[in-house]
């Protein structure tokens, strides 16, 4: 399989956990084993949108219990004989090969996946800032030769980009270092909060300069956070920023 | 109604209380200098079809001369690895049965 593979470097490897649970988007070619009427194909494709039940493939490395996955959309891009070019947006952990197999079974004719390319992993897509191994080799060499930092910026993105679709909470300078030491985030430290946060949602905590400080779990909703004057609002799950970058203003 | 993909959800930034940030501390992510640009960096890599995600990640590590790198979401279904293991196992099994037959 080819396509979008975010590679996190050094300290940034800590953001990978956010990417593993992020949604994915694929383009693939499905091959039907017998002819099937186009109307039926479109009907079955529609049925596989929304919540689906999926049993991981027999040889997958996870538990074989049936699990629920959300298919955000499943679009047919082109039908040519028994070949169907499709695009799917899905929750992390959806087996596309299995999805194709199950669609084939629902159609009654059987099907398998012929080709697959990932075009999105969380916020990373193939049409924005994507580079090949050759690009990396070339640009890194140019950086080494001339010391032009622009060459690095051409292929290395800030780790914060991995969190673009997570609900965000921004905090004061004075609250940063306590979080870096593993403290939970309390109401007075918060300056801004994004809409739509519900208790137990995974959130990202940012400085006012836009640096990622930590990943956490919201204890309160956006509305509650806006009103609160004290108390823990976010439990810190994973600290992303090293200690000591911001002043230690806490006791 | 169908669930929206996370990338199709629009969020609004709401202000709880204004504050300013001191330029003495930290750095805007887009303005990081070397080596922080690498330390806190992520690459949106177009994985070629041959090598595994792990191999490709190891190459990136070697090119950049760094200690750690990790990829977000393996790009080959575990079924391939499993199938390979199963096949090599069944190869062994058939070898054994061949020997047994001898």
A77 and A27 Cβ atoms separated by less than 8 Å: yes
Q: Does B99 touch chain A (CB under 8 A)?
A: no
Angle formed by the axes of helices A133-146 and B53-64, nearest 10° = 10
pLDDT for A122 beyond 60: yes
Burial class (CB in 10 A: 0-12, 13-18, 19+), A17: middle
Considering chain A, what percentage of its residues have pLDDT values greater than 70?
99
Contacts of A149 in chain B (CB under 8 A): 33-34, 37
What mean pLDDT do residues B13-24 have? 97
Looking at the DSSP bridge assignments, the partners of residue A49 are: none
Cross-chain Cβ contact B43/A136 below 8 Å: yes
Contacts of A176 in chain B (CB under 8 A): 25-26
C-alpha A59, offset from chain centre: 25
pLDDT for B51 beyond 70: yes
Nearest to B69 among A8, A125, A190 (CB): A8
Q: Does B5 touch chain A (CB under 8 A)?
A: yes
Name residues 91-120 of chain A within 8 A of B (Cβ).
92, 95-97, 118, 120
pLDDT for A188 beyond 90: yes
What mean pLDDT do residues A174-183 have? 97
Q: Which residues contact B70 (CB under 8 A, 6 or more apart)?
A: A7, A8, A13, A16, B57
Contacts of B79 in chain A (CB under 8 A): 57, 59-60, 95, 97
Nearest to A56 by CA among B82, B3, B35: B82
pLDDT confidence of residue B76: 67
DSSP 3-state of A226: helix
Q: Please state, in angstroms and as integers, the Cα–Cα distance from residue A41 to each residue in A33, A106, B90, B94, following that order.
A: 13, 9, 37, 41
Q: Please state, in angstroms and as integers, the Cα–Cα distance from residue A100 to each residue in A54, A94, A106, B65, following that order.
A: 11, 11, 10, 40
ipTM of this complex prediction, to 2 decimal places: 0.93
Contacts of A7 in chain B (CB under 8 A): 42-43, 45, 56-57, 60, 69-72
| Gap between the Cα atoms of B36 and B29, Å rounded | 9
B73 and A24 Cβ atoms separated by less than 8 Å: yes
| Gap between the Cα atoms of A58 and A100, Å rounded | 15
Cross-chain Cβ contact B47/A128 below 8 Å: no
B37 and A149 Cβ atoms separated by less than 8 Å: yes
| Gap between the Cα atoms of A5 and A19, Å rounded | 10
The more confidently predicted of residues A213 and A248 is: A213
Name residues 186-245 of chain A within 8 A of B (Cβ).
190-196, 207-212, 222, 225-226, 245
pLDDT for B99 beyond 50: no
Write down the residue that tokens 């004719």 correspond to: A109
Total CB pairs under 8 A between chain A and B: 270
User: Using 50, 70 and 90 to split pLDDT, how confident is the model at A60?
Assistant: confident
Name residues 27-66 of chain A within 8 A of B (Cβ).
49-50, 57-62
- As a dihedral over the C-alpha atoms of residue A215, residue A217, residue A222, residue A224, rounded to 10 degrees, the angle is -130
Where residue A247 falls (left for φ over 0; alpha for ψ -120 to 50; beta otherwise) is beta
Residue B95 is classified by DSSP as: H
Cross-chain Cβ contact B44/A210 below 8 Å: no
pLDDT confidence of residue B82: 44
pLDDT confidence of residue A251: 57
Q: How far is B38 from chain A (nearest CA, A)?
A: 6
Q: Where are the beta strands (DSSP E) in chain A?
A: 2-9, 24-32, 50-54, 67-80, 83-90, 111-121, 124-125, 157-158, 168-171, 185-186, 190-194, 202-207, 212-218, 232-239
Nearest to B41 among A70, A158, A196 (CB): A158
User: Using 50, 70 and 90 to split pLDDT, how confident is the model at B3?
Assistant: confident
Contacts of A155 in chain B (CB under 8 A): 43
Average pLDDT, chain A: 95
User: Using 50, 70 and 90 to split pLDDT, how confident is the model at A250?
Assistant: low
A166 and B10 Cβ atoms separated by less than 8 Å: no
Task: Give all domains of chain A, ordered by start, each with its CATH number.
Answer: 13-125 (3.30.2350.10), 166-239 (2.30.130.10)
Nearest to B60 among A7, A152, A195 (CB): A7
pLDDT confidence of residue B97: 36
Q: Which residues contact A7 (CB under 8 A, 6 or more apart)?
A: B42, B43, B45, B56, B57, B60, B69, B70, B71, B72
pTM over 0.80: yes
């Amino acid at each position: 399989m080819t396509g979008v593979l975010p590679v996190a470097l050094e300290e940034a490897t800590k953001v990978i956990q956010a990417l593993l649970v992020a949604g994915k988007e694929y383009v693939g070619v499905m091959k039907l084993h017998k002819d099937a009427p186009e109307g039926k194909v479109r009907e079955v494709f529609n049925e596989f949108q929304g919540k689906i039940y999926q049993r991981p493939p027999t040889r997958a490395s996870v538990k074989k219990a049936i699990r629920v996955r959300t298919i955000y959309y499943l679009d047919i891009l082109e039908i040519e004989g028994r070949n169907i070019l499709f695009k799917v947006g899905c929750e992390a952990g959806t087996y596309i090969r299995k999805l194709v197999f199950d669609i084939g079974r629902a159609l009654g004719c059987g099907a398998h996946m012929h080709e697959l390319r990932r075009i999105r992993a969380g916020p990373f897509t193939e049409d924005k800032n994507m580079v090949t191994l050759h690009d990396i080799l070339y640009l890194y060499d140019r950086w080494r030769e001339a010391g032009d930092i622009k060459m690095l910026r051409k292929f290395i993105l800030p780790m914060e980009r991995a969190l673009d679709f997570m609900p965000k909470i921004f905090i004061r300078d004075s609250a940063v270092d306590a979080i870096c030491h593993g403290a939970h985030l309390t109401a007075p430290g918060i300056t801004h909060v994004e809409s739509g946060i519900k208790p137990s949602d995974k959130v990202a905590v940012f400085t006012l300069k836009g640096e990622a400080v930590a990943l956490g779990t919201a204890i309160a909703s956006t509305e509650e956070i806006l009103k609160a004057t004290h108390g823990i609002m976010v439990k810190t799950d994973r600290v992303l920023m090293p200690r000591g970058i911001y002043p230690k203003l806490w006791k | 109604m169908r669930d929206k993909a996370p990338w199709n959800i629009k969020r609004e930034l709401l202000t709880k209380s204004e504050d300013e940030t001191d330029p003495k501390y930290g750095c805007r992510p887009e303005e990081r200098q070397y080596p922080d640009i690498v330390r806190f960096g992520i690459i949106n890599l177009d994985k070629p079809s041959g090598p595994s995600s792990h191999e490709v990640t190891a190459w990136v590590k070697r090119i950049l001369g760094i200690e750690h790198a990790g990829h977000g979401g393996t790009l080959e279904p575990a079924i391939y690895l499993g199938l390979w293991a199963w096949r090599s196992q069944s190869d062994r099994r058939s070898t054994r049965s061949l020997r047994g037959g001898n």
